[in-house]
Amino acid sequence: MSTREAGPADRGDTAATERAFVIVTGMSGAGRSTAAKALEDLGWFVIDNLPPGLLFAMAEEAGKVKLAADKVAAVVDVRSLAFTTDLNAAIEELEGRGVRVRVVFLEASDEELVRRFENVRRPHPLQGEGRLVDGITRERGILREVRANADLVIDTSSHNVHDLRNKIVAYFGGEDRPGLRLNVVSFGFKYGLPVDADLVVDCRFLPNPHWVPELRPMNGLDAPVRDYVLEQPGAKEFLDAYEEVLQVVAAGYAREGKSYATLAVGCTGGKHRSVAMAEQVGARLRDRGMEVQVSHRDVGRE
């Protein structure tokens, strides 16, 4: 699946104008409907449950009725084993006609998906005569290639509907602003890696404020913890070096047409070092003119 920006097609039909088209897909139960509603609230024209084979026809009709050029989205889900092939073909056709396609993939852990389906007492659309987990496993296998090539992956395992809506608004609330949008998230390794991270760095080389009694109850947003972390040998050198690396990476992402990236900064518990360092990374990138959102996944989890 290509994420390049294709130039306008030679033929002059309406769908060939230079504009963006967002495809929302992913695991059943991961929040596709919530994402669609959030986009609608932002003024997007959204079609839900659209077969991949109709994506181009929808884009063409959207152009004919003069909808906002950069505010058209479709929600697609698995209907058959040919889903990936059909979706790839549709994206190639759209890009060949000058439409810039971006794919947003929503996912969640197996445990969370099981909990959600059991709460609403509904079967998984692919479970057939088998168990709920069988349907989830089958769907994850069909979508593996789609996830690998998506422009934006959002893990909703720990999100409620409000969290997911806020994230969609953060990513799509200012589509008129050019450039790469960065999400810097702190996390604790003991709770697992953020599955939607594009880059991961480890701050466990720094002394842990957890072992300083007066700092233990605080977190990296508190000035005493922040100052303690930043004063440690290697902290400034790390930030200087990582800032330069991110400049190279961001430029490469932009050349490849990537619009969003998630940078994960980890320590043991996601409370002290990673929080302080993530804030610093975000501040430095903003100073360089980048659009950055900073969040802290595991603060308050202990």
> What DSSP string describes 74-138?
EE----STTHHHHHHHHHHHHHHTTEEEEEEEEE--HHHHHHHHHHHT---TT-TTS-HHHHHHH
Distance between CA atoms of residues 78 and 147, nearest Å = 13
30 is in an annotated binding site: yes
- Residue 155 pairs with which residues in a beta bridge? 107
- Is there a binding annotation on residue 79? yes
Q: Is 32 annotated as a binding residue?
A: yes
Does residue 81 register a pLDDT over 90?
Answer: no
Known binding residue 26? Answer is yes
Q: What is the pLDDT of residues 65-76, one digit of tens each?
A: 444 456 788 898
Q: What pLDDT is attached to residue 205? A: 97
Q: Which helix (H) or strand (E) holds 228?
A: helix 223-230
Contacts of 74 (CB under 8 A, 6+ apart): 21, 22, 23, 24, 46, 47, 50, 55, 58
Q: How many residues does the chain have?
A: 302
Q: pLDDT above 70 covers what percent of the chain?
A: 86
Judge whether 216 is annotated as a binding position: no
The pLDDT value given to residue 16: 35
Tell me yes or no: is domain 20-173 CATH 3.40.50.300: yes
Residue of higher predicted confidence among 177 and 105: 105
Count each helix (H run) and each strand (E run) in the chain, helices first: 10, 9
Does residue 288 have a known ligand-binding role? no
Mean pLDDT value of segment 228-240: 96
What is the spatial distance between Cα 35 and Cα 29, in angstroms, rounded to a whole number? Answer: 12
Is it the case that residue 20 has pLDDT exceeding 80? no
| Token code pair at residue 197 | 């991270």
pLDDT(15) > 50: no
Instruction: Tell me what pLDDT residue 78 has.
Output: 82
For the chain, the 3-state helix, strand and coil shares in percent, each to the nearest 5, are: 45, 20, 40
3-class DSSP state of 206: coil
Cβ atoms of 264 and 187 closer than 8 Å: yes
Amino acid at 271: K
DSSP 19: E
For residue 55, the surrounding DSSP H or E stretch is: helix 55-64
pLDDT at 172: 82
Cα–Cα distance, 91 to 204 (Å, whole number): 42
Please determine, for residue 7, whether its predicted confidence score (pLDDT) is greater than 60.
Answer: no
Average pLDDT over residues 35-50: 86
pLDDT score at 250: 87
- What is the chain's mean pLDDT, rounded? 84
Is 96 flagged in the annotation as binding? no
Q: What are the extents of the domains in the chain?
A: 20-173, 181-296
